Amino acid sequence: MPAIPDASPVSGYLFHNLIHFGRLLRNLGLDAHAGRMLDVAEALAHVDIGRRSDFYHTLQTLLVRRAQDLPVFDEAFRVFWRPPRSERTTRDLRALGERRRFAPSEVDVPPTSPSNQAAGEREEPLLRVEQVEALSYSARQVSRTKDFATFTDAEVALARAMMASLDWELGIRTTRRWQPGAGTAIDIRRAVRHNLRFGGELVALPRRRRRTQTRPLVLLCDVSGSMERYSRMLLHFVHTLSGGFDRVETFVFSTTLTRVTRRLARREVDDVVPTLPTQVPDWAGGTRIGEALRRFNVDWARRVMAHAPVVLLISDGWDRGAPERLGAEMARLQRGCHRLIWLNPLLGSPRYRPLTRGMQAALPWIDDFLPVHNLASLDALAAHLNRLPTRRPVRRQHVPQSAVTTPAP
């Protein structure tokens, strides 16, 4: 490991803060390992760190390897290396993940990237960072209560890593097939074959038990115009779930239904999220939840609902179609799944009431009605899915005639 000379500009607290800056970048998804930070420290010995632009470009050149990481790096650099408010302190870096993290600076910091500053401009020396107290940063400090609709690009990247770190489990389902094991049922065939060597005497009674499988998951995500402010973050959520389970089927809908399972399974999130809106013909269009569910029940239910999956339906409930159709299709969907969970981003508001005709028609057929508007709600959802019982919930709704026969279009 190369040593840092005591006379170097990166001695003392500045080098210590470089280490913390590297930890911050790693939490944001950049490849800023310790060896690379040592390269940065050596490079800074050959530049004038009194120039903010020189300091910025040195760090950017050595720490940014992908174009999509540049906005995240710029935001982290602007907040971490901001000038101090006084001779003794700077902004508390532990608040870097909170809501005020990306608020306008309380000191005179230019809003543009450091690269736009004049090359000959002499700025306040960054050696004042030596007065910063050594502070740590954790990805867990991102605001868990901040609404997804107000997330910045840097916060989306951090939230994506947090979603991937959650424990997503749906439990197991018992199949009709049998396998040898310590069960309560006697395996007659194996018992006969095994005891033939003893002249037919029942010396041993092999047991058998039901075979189990991981419960499948079906995602139905609303991408209509009313959901547009949440669509970017929810796409990352859907992509995380698509890669976290063995058997996942994913659909998006607005006025029609589009299957996107293969697009989400075979590509990186940085490739699929920007391009998916161009591949869905009715993206950010109107909302006809009932019609989309009818297409799912008719065209896809027999294929993807054969093993009683858990269904996550993500929508704000704004529907321009007939509420009778929505109620009928929700009843049909519920009968075919193990559990029907409706995730509504508006439910996180204390003033929200499901008073629209669409939500009123759907509510009797929903097993769980949960919010999905911030990281805390996703954490609660993961815990809820992990605790799902093996048996279906008791459903005692009154089935109206419209739910038994599909209404005419």
Using a pLDDT cut of 70, give the percent of the chain over it: 77
Q: How confident is the model at residue 10 (pLDDT cuts 50, 70, 90)?
A: low
Q: How confident is the model at residue 219 (pLDDT cuts 50, 70, 90)?
A: very high
Domain with 238 in it: what CATH number? Answer: 3.40.50.410
Verify that 250 and 194 share a domain, yes or no. Answer: no
Verify that 260 and 204 share a domain, yes or no. Answer: no
- Segment 209-238 shows an average pLDDT of 90
Task: Give 347's contacts (C-beta < 8 A, 6+ positions apart).
Answer: 354, 369, 370, 371, 372, 373
Give the pLDDT of residue 4.
Answer: 36
Give the pLDDT of residue 94.
Answer: 35
Verify that 97 and 208 share a domain, yes or no. Answer: no
Give the pLDDT of residue 333.
Answer: 96
Q: Which residue has the higher pLDDT, 192 or 369?
A: 369
Residue 273 included in any domain: yes
Give the pLDDT of residue 275.
Answer: 84
Residue 35 included in any domain: yes
Is the pLDDT at 125 greater than 70? The verdict is no
Verify that 349 and 240 share a domain, yes or no. Answer: yes
Verify that 113 and 190 share a domain, yes or no. Answer: no
Q: 207 has which bridge partners?
A: 186
Give the pLDDT of residue 86.
Answer: 38
Domain end, chosen from 141, 162, 195, is at: 141
Give the pLDDT of residue 106.
Answer: 35
Residue 7 included in any domain: no
Lowest mean pLDDT, pick from 123-127, 214-218, 383-387 = 123-127
Give the pLDDT of residue 87.
Answer: 37
| Residue 93 structure tokens | 């870096």
Q: Is 328 helix (H, G, I), strand (E, B) or coil?
A: helix
- Segment 200-205 shows an average pLDDT of 80
Give the pLDDT of residue 140.
Answer: 47
Other C-beta atoms lying within 10 Å of the C-beta of residue 265: 13
Q: Which segment, 11-20, 25-34, 95-104, is predicted with the most confidence on average?
A: 25-34
Question: 145-193, pLDDT tens digit by residue?
Answer: 899 988 888 788 888 888 877 878 887 777 888 888 888 888 888 888 8
Number of domains in the chain: 3
CA dist 171 → 14, 164, 215, 216, 301 (Å): 49, 18, 6, 9, 21
Helix, strand, coil % in the chain, rounded to nearest 5? 45, 15, 40
- Segment 373-383 shows an average pLDDT of 92
Using a pLDDT cut of 90, give the percent of the chain over it: 32
Verify that 219 and 118 share a domain, yes or no. Answer: no
Verify that 124 and 198 share a domain, yes or no. Answer: no
Q: How confident is the model at residue 346 (pLDDT cuts 50, 70, 90)?
A: very high
| Residue 52 structure tokens | 């903010």
Q: How confident is the model at residue 353 (pLDDT cuts 50, 70, 90)?
A: very high
Residue 292 included in any domain: yes
Domain end, chosen from 92, 126, 141, is at: 141
Give the pLDDT of residue 260.
Answer: 93
Verify that 209 and 219 share a domain, yes or no. Answer: no
Is the pLDDT at 90 greater than 70? The verdict is no
Verify that 239 and 337 share a domain, yes or no. Answer: yes
- Segment 119-138 shows an average pLDDT of 36
Verify that 229 and 373 share a domain, yes or no. Answer: yes
Mean pLDDT estimate for the chain: 78
Q: How confident is the model at residue 32 (pLDDT cuts 50, 70, 90)?
A: confident
Q: Where are the beta strands (DSSP E) in 238-365?
A: 248-253, 257-259, 310-314, 339-344
Evaluate whether 342 touches 381 at the Cβ level (below 8 Å): no
Give the pLDDT of residue 357.
Answer: 92
Residue 5 included in any domain: no
Is the pLDDT at 296 greater than 80? The verdict is yes
What is the distance between the alpha carbons of residues 336 and 84, in angstroms, rounded to a whole number? 60
Residue 409 included in any domain: no
Question: 246-288, pLDDT tens digit by residue?
Answer: 789 999 999 999 999 988 876 567 678 788 888 898 898 899 9
Q: How confident is the model at residue 397 (pLDDT cuts 50, 70, 90)?
A: low
Residue 156 included in any domain: no
Verify that 273 and 392 share a domain, yes or no. Answer: yes
Domain of residue 125 covers: 13-141
| Residue 336 structure tokens | 């075919």
Give the pLDDT of residue 246.
Answer: 73
Domain end, chosen from 120, 141, 162, is at: 141
Verify that 234 and 111 share a domain, yes or no. Answer: no
Residue 264 included in any domain: yes
Q: Which residue has the higher pLDDT, 202 or 317?
A: 317
Is the pLDDT at 11 greater than 80? The verdict is no
* Residue 258 region by backbone torsions, left for phi larger than 0, else alpha for psi between -120 and 50, else beta: beta
Nearest to 68 by CA among 245, 249, 273: 273
- Segment 289-301 shows an average pLDDT of 96
